[in-house]
Amino acid sequence: HFNRLHSQGIDLSSYYVQPSCSPTRAAILTGRKPLHTGINFWLPNIAAGLSLNEVTLAQVLNRRNFTSHAVGKWHLGFHKTPYTPTFRGFSSFYGYYEGSEDYYTHVTNGGFDFHDERAPFCGPGCTQRPWHLQGQYSTNLFTARAVEIISQHNLSSRLFLYLAYQGVHAPRQAPAAYVEPYEKGIADPVRRTFAGMISALDEGIGNVTAALAARDMFADTLIVVTTDNGGPTTECSTTGQSNWPFRGSKCSVYEGGTRGTAFLHWQGLPRRGVTFTGLAHAADWLPTIVSAVGSRLWPNETLSLDGLDLWDALLSNGTSPRKSVYYGISQKHDGPAVRDVQGYKLILSSSGGGQGQWSPQQLPHVASSC
């Protein structure tokens, strides 16, 4: 299903994210980079979160006759109720607040972290803890909730669904039914389980697109697929990824930690099955999506944006308005790093973070980009 959408959409081959999850999620939802959101690393279990002064993509779209829902991973703060998703523009939230947890028990740091919130501003007395879901695989749960949202959506408004799957984050877990087809084709058991996790995601995307088609919504839906960091090949909870042909891991400012996978699909695209080679960054999604839905940002509607509107360039496969990328800093404070449109890159430290290795599959290609 991913391959089908990708082959009929626009691939972003020079797309960048931050070195880890929380900074990228903040950039996607605010159109602002870590220098301005203040979220430079993944958020540990502390009293911190996305500033309440920030305006999210959900809040922006709600003003344009959208109803917004969030499913899956949040990881932008939960120490106080106003930092949770239904207080940030989403009409419902079904998922977990933290950065990682067991896919079956839904436990992290010794606590059950799964929340079913079915109304805006759903705090104490509203939020539910679905204990009965223990033992069920989160990827399938999130898919089922996404399908339910689509099936019940009132077509008098437009739908924004922020579907942030847990997969393929650590821990490395997948039901046997998804792993077994790879027993003969993939010798490495780590990579085999990783492939099973991907298969569960792929099935989920198929179910979501089928639900959109059943409501006659698919043709009018813009689907954006993006990672939130490079694969954790040597640091930050490895699960079997390879960042070939790039050097380094998640949590670093090397290309392997920050050059992201992304594509978009819409049946109305004038060019489909093409590659957009211009620079793009996770912060660009907010202004780009606003333009894609036929609107523009109002004066002072958000805090000052770092993101740029790429919509016209994407439609025409033209020149990106983005001329540089700020990588942020690594989880261990290496950097910062920047690059320009010509490909020159500067890392302002002796390391880009972590081991800076190539994956074993990459060793013959060590002359590739760093």
Provide the annotated active-site residues: 21, 75
Per DSSP, the residues of 320-365 read -S--EEEEE--TT----EEEETTS-EEESSS-SSS--PPPGGGGGG
> Which residues is 340 bridged to in the sheet?
324
What is the C-alpha R_g of the chain? 20
Token pair of 222 as six digits? 């813009």
- Cα(164)–Cα(73) distance, integer angstroms: 5
Q: Which ranges in 49-122 belong to alpha helices (H)?
A: 57-62
- Cα(283)–Cα(328) distance, integer angstroms: 13
CB 246 within 8 A of CB 256: yes
The two counts, helices (H) then strands (E), for the chain are: 10, 15
Per DSSP, the residues of 202-220 read HHHHHHHHHHHHHTT-GGG
